[in-house]
Amino acid sequence: MRNFELFQDYRFDNFVLNHGLLWQQISDSLLTCAADCVNDRPCISFNFHQGKRQCRAYETLMLTADAGTSKEDWTYFYITRGNCPFPYAYSRTFNYCLGYEGHSDKEDGFSQCQGKGGRFLLIRTAEENRFASLLAYNFNHLSDPISRQMIVQGNFDFVDMTWKDDSGANLTFTQFREGQAIPESESALFIKHTNNPTNFMMTSRKGNKNPSIVVCII
């Protein structure tokens, strides 16, 4: 399928993803469901029910079982490709592989990403902010607000007084919570949960040992 591969994530058998739905339809086979997802550029994953011939396509990934609703006989697949490390998915919209690496502080999280040749998620546009927000919404169940934050690329330059990405370029998209745009000291950049699952906002806090969501891109 156009050099793309499908991976069935058996951890999420008997679950359907509960956010990020693009469309749902009747499909005569798993192959048809997969082909329709591949033909829809934003689609990165889908659920399929063999008995009911139902297909559900998503613009996001199921990273935790808590992001799914328990329903029998559903299977879950995501799109990947050969140059993505296991178990990373592939986003055609943003042209990178991505995967959840657990919860860590900034230093350890960065090391985990570097170990795979990657880096933290980069948010350059409102569209990418939506994508990152949907990924972070997988962790809406966590009671600790800090643990629901996702680390993203961003270091504050106190000379230029701007946030910059890992390459040193000014971030082209910022949407900060009030009072969070200019940190008091060296800080990490995160996106923080709001009541809108598609529009989390940026926040900064001093690099510390509080674990946060680590999603790497390659």
pLDDT digit string, tens, across residues 39-55: 999 999 999 999 999 99
Q: Report pLDDT for 210.
A: 84
Q: Is the pTM of this model over 0.85?
A: yes
Dump pLDDT digits (tens) for 56-67: 999 999 999 999
Q: Which domain holds residue 30?
A: 5-80
Residues 104 and 201 in one domain: yes
Task: Please determine, for residue 194, whether its predicted confidence score (pLDDT) is greater than 90.
Answer: no
Output the CA torsion sign for 136, 139, 141, 146: negative
Residues 119 and 203 in one domain: yes
Task: Please determine, for residue 98, whether its predicted confidence score (pLDDT) is greater than 60.
Answer: yes
Dump pLDDT digits (tens) for 158-181: 999 999 999 999 999 999 988 889
Residue 207 pLDDT grade (very low, low, confident, very high; cuts 50, 70, 90): low
Q: How far apart are CA 186 and CA 201, in angstroms?
A: 19
Q: Report pLDDT for 3.
A: 82
Q: How far apart are CA 122 and CA 164, in angstroms?
A: 10
Residues 115 and 208 in one domain: yes
Task: Look at residue 88 and tell me if it is in a domain.
Answer: no
Q: Quote the number of domains for the chain.
A: 2
Task: Look at residue 155 and tell me if it is in a domain.
Answer: yes
Task: Look at residue 87 and tell me if it is in a domain.
Answer: no
Asked if 146 and 191 touch (Cβ cutoff 8 Å), the reply is no
Q: Report pLDDT for 2.
A: 62
Last residue of a domain, one of 80, 112, 144: 80
Q: How far apart are CA 204 and CA 193, in angstroms?
A: 13
Residues 76 and 99 in one domain: no
Straight-line distance from the first to the last Cα atom of the chain, in angstroms, rounded to the nearest whole number: 21
The mean of the pLDDT values for the chain is 93
Choose among 109, 99, 102: nearest CA to 188: 109
Task: Look at residue 23 and tell me if it is in a domain.
Answer: yes
Residues 197 and 128 in one domain: yes
- Quick one: tokens of 165? 């990405």
Asked if 73 and 13 touch (Cβ cutoff 8 Å), the reply is no
CATH number of the domain that residue 117 is part of: 3.10.100.10
Task: Look at residue 190 and tell me if it is in a domain.
Answer: yes
| Alpha-carbon radius of gyration of the chain | 18
212 beta partners? 104
Task: Please determine, for residue 1, whether its predicted confidence score (pLDDT) is greater than 60.
Answer: no
What residue type is 142 in one-letter code?
L
Ramachandran region of residue 104, left (φ > 0), alpha (ψ -120 to 50) or beta? Answer: beta
Select the highest-mean-pLDDT range: 89-93, 106-110, 201-205: 89-93
